[in-house]
Amino acid sequence: MRMLINVPETVVADALRGMAAAHPELMVDVENRVIVRRDAPVADKVALVSGGGSGHEPLHGGFVGPGMLSAACPGEVFTSPVPDQMVRAAAAVDSGKGVLFVVKNYTGDVLNFDMAAELAEDEGIQVAKVLVDDDVAVTDSLFTAGRRGTGATLFVEKLAGAAADEGAPLERVEAIARRVNENSRSFGVALSAVTTPAKGSPTFELPPGELELGIGIHGEPGRERRPMMTSGEIADFAVDAVVEDLRPRNPVLLLVNGMGATPLLELYGFHAEVQRALTERNVAVARVLVGNYVTSLDMAGASVTLCQIDEELLRLWDAPVRTPALRWGV
């Protein structure tokens, strides 16, 4: 197993220790697995808390900071965080204006965040929740009932986080998060399988010369397996899947996301093909992100996420953000 780790049992703790050393603007509780912006709680501001299994970095810890999340809860690799983490995070960031939980639609995350919301409310913390379920590839999967939550999580956290920074009340921040999710769709492609530290070998079989269309961020099966396609062919397939489901009438935010092992040289080339495919389908692109944002450890591949926007959402997208992984306007 060729991984830059000590032992599989400490991989998450080791990463958190390294994150703490690299980002003094964050408070990283390695023992309790909670990442909090150092100035929390911010007075008169709705707080945003998210989390999920480790292995998708920079999601979610890399999005903690002004303009996005107030706190994040990393679980073990591809494993949901536990309710105690979420309650601890909510208590650390609540200013009395309430907390929004951003939850990707995976069964463990949903159950644990639901339980955490009940426990937090017992402690006097007002909690709202938004479920991210943007993946158009499959309806149900090994990890979900309904659509999976993938790339749109970044859009939800950024746009709802900007609204919270403007002083919007919890009900408004929740409504914006829901609107962003409802107007977002994603589709992912795997060129190689993912290897977890605990297993030490690929989690599924993908023969040489083949790719999986519609893969999930944990290596879940997609729509179909095909012989290797060109970048342009993959872009057409992914864009068709997203546009046919979303049917955007307004300009869109575009995320061309790497799954962890695909270099930027390839991602930018793929982005060129995605832009071509969108232009041919009369979809206007307002803003773009290209890079590794919602990953799957060492999986090679990419995903395409579109979010249909209006003037308000575009303003919130352009608002300042200062996190380890996303930073502009500051």
From 23, 60, 218, 271, active-site residue: 218
Picking from 35, 27, 28, 33, the residue whose alpha carbon sits closest to that of residue 10 is 33
| Rounded Cα gap, residues 137 and 214, in angstroms | 5
| Rounded Cα gap, residues 27 and 29, in angstroms | 6
3-state SS string over 63-80? HECCCCECEEEEEEECCC
Half-sphere exposure of 188 (CA within 13 A, CB side): 34
CB 52 within 8 A of CB 81: yes
6: burial class by Cβ within 10 Å (0-12, 13-18, 19+)? exposed
CA distances to 83, 144, 149, 188, 259 from 218, rounded to whole Å, are 21, 11, 11, 11, 10
| Rounded Cα gap, residues 116 and 165, in angstroms | 24
Picking from 157, 192, 154, the residue whose alpha carbon sits closest to that of residue 176 is 157
**For residue 279, what is the DSSP state?**
H
From 23, 56, 60, 271, active-site residue: 56
For this structure, is 271 an active site residue?
A: no
For this structure, is 60 an active site residue?
A: no
**For residue 116, what is the DSSP state?**
H
Strand partners, 77: 54
Length of the chain: 330
**For residue 62, what is the DSSP state?**
G
Whole-number CA gyration radius for the chain: 19
Phi, psi at 195, each rounded to 5°? -115, 120
Just list the catalytic residues: 56, 218
